[in-house]
Amino acid sequence: LTVTVSEGLEIPGFGKSIKIKVVNAIQTIQVEIMASNGNLIDTLSFPATGKGEFEQPWFIPRETIPGKYIVKVKDAQNTAETSFDVK
């Protein structure tokens, strides 16, 4: 199970986004987006494709304070995490 985060689009009225990509997933993927202090910001749940992949944009809430954030993913058997910075 591997998760990567890249810069997404910025859409007027919605703000900036990141693109969350997961590969080698089994069944449903649970995604947690957390502040570096462990505070939970958002949770998402999506089924993996037949190839075990998942790609989804996530819009950063406007009130988000600049800093480091963590994306943690879990499928039926494994967990993985990565981080991204909000500027």
Half-sphere exposure of 82 (CA within 13 A, CB side): 13
Q: How far apart are CA 32 and CA 38, in angstroms?
A: 10
* Three-state DSSP state, 8: strand
Instruction: Give the mean pLDDT of 18-46.
Output: 95
Please provide the average confidence, as pLDDT, over all residues in the chain.
94
H-run or E-run covering 59: strand 54-59
* Band of pLDDT at residue 42, cut at 50, 70 and 90: very high
Q: Is 16 exposed, middle or buried (0-12, 13-18, 19+ CB in 10 A)?
A: middle
* Band of pLDDT at residue 64, cut at 50, 70 and 90: very high
Full-model pTM: 0.91
pLDDT number for residue 44: 95
**Residue that has been written with the tokens 């998402």 in this structure:** 44
